Structure 1
Amino acid sequence: MRPVSKGWTAVTQVTASKVLSQMRDAGYVDLHDNIVRFLRALALEVGSAVESANPPPGLPMTIRGVTWYSLPVPNDPVFFNYSIYPEEHQIRICDLIWVASL
């Protein structure tokens, strides 16, 4: 059983979770860990913005009534889209794109 969080959290949807797993499986453990830390910090930043009526970080775009924010991860080859669910104190990451060079 998970403890109930009292703060804002980041939840990755299935496709974003798969990309994170692929990073780790491909040996990019540090990148994986950096992205996870970034998403956790972003959830707190978004929560603070929402609670103070400021705009959250990222470029907003509305698709079928849901506003998504597009954001790159600074200094890493990753960008993603997230949506905000204030009643649940949660952001949800649906698309996580890792630009891997071979």
Structure 2
Amino acid sequence: MEITLTSQNFETEVLQSEKPVLVDFWATWCGPCMRQAPIVEEIAAEGYTVGKVDVDQEPALAQQFRIMSIPTLLVFKNGKEANRVVGLTSKNDLLALLND
């Protein structure tokens, strides 16, 4: 399941989720983000919860999580950031972070 995250729904969809959530911070002008998107979509199609944050639309969220480069992918478990990777990341590496 892929969700567009905003400041309004972030707490409900991510911090209060009982399942791990992969959050993809990205932007439309970011080449590596465009290459990361199909990988993230595959993970969502396999039943994982995936949230997407467009840093241009949600600068407050990007600032809150100290996003300095994109793509940055965060894994949240039990309402807390459990893992963080910056840059284009393989499907296997992301699944390992979600399942560890």
Task: Give the TM-score range, shorter chain.
Answer: 0.3 to 0.5
- Larger Rg computed on CA atoms: 1
Structure 1 or 2: more strand by fraction: 1
Higher relative contact order (CA 8 A, sep 6+): 2
| TM-score (normalizing by structure 1) | 0.33
Instruction: State the TM-score, normalizing by the size of structure 2.
Output: 0.34
